[in-house]
A and B are shown apart, each in its own frame.
Chain A
């Protein structure tokens, strides 16, 4: 599984981005997106196009962790969202490992990925590394988001941090990386 995590201010300014790969099921923690050349750009695009849905869910569900909110079939990308009470959005895009070419164009939709566990390199359908919508994954993402939230609050508590400003601290980045390793 490859992940792209971003923190967006209430006015949609990205304040933090990071890409990483799964560390579960023997993963090496390195992101391998399907379109490596345009991954950064595509990921941002997919995340931004999920904002409508996030904003709708925001007012029907008061939870901070909204779970998996959107799917983008062309890239087999899944979006999970976490909303801070101060209006900041944490969005995690996950993209399962690419299926063999035979799975090709017809098998790009979400359902076929869920249904074709035998094609996946490692792990079962419920594993965090393979299945973006299993209860195990939802729980792992929740843990990840909660850990990032704690570090975000620490950032935001500093009197010199203004909401919406880019988070540049290497310590923060290291903490997010560690949370990714631990839970995803």
Chain B
């Protein structure tokens, strides 16, 4: 599927909406609560966010397939377009840029010009949060969970974030392997 077609699907898929700020504020509440509960152990907060995302991803993929009506992707490049232009468009109303492919076509970056999860956010000025916390880490988990349900084991992590003072917000996504029909994925 061409990437422009993916864009069109992303644009045209009709979904129920809510006020974006309700989503933003709710997510901010979750992260702030985690930071409080884990006593600003940001590594642990990242881990928890990833876990939450994983749970969401596993459920969200069904919704995604039903709403977008897209079928199986031919290759990982097509998957990347589908994630950026349809998945993110539907669920976060943004379309990150897909770029920085490795030559084996197994790794790419998503660059976020906009990130509604991080609107209004300023990280704690404690000398650590900007080095340790990935505020939007839930998104990595969402990708991992969702793709696992369609037989792709991936690894995703942020490499930069505007909230940390970087110039871009970038997530690195790597294909680990295609999962053969062996057994259902384990829940975390």
Contact = CB atoms under 8 A, between A and B. Distances in A.
The binding surface of chain A is classed by DSSP as loop
B116 to A, nearest CB: 13
Contacts of B129: 160
A178 to B, nearest CB: 19
A160 B120 contact: no
A161 B122 CA distance: 8
Nearest to A153: B120
B173 to A, nearest CB: 26
Interface residues of B, number: 13
A11 B118 CA distance: 30
B31 interface: yes
Contacts of A168: 125
Contacts, number: 25
A169 B123 CA distance: 11
A155 B31 CA distance: 17
A157 interface: yes
B125 A159 contact: no
A105 interface: no
A157 B120 contact: yes
A158 B125 contact: no
Interface string B96-134: 000000000000000000000000111111000100000
Contacts of B31: 159
Contacts of A158: 28, 120-122
Nearest to B121: A158
Nearest to B30: A159
A168 B126 CA distance: 11
Interface of A: 154-155, 157-161, 168-169
Interface of B: 25, 28-29, 31-32, 35, 120-125, 129
25 contacts: A154-B120, A155-B122, A157-B120, A158-B28, A158-B120, A158-B121, A158-B122, A159-B25, A159-B28, A159-B29, A159-B31, A159-B32, A159-B120, A159-B121, A160-B32, A160-B35, A160-B121, A160-B122, A160-B123, A160-B124, A160-B129, A161-B122, A168-B125, A169-B122, A169-B125
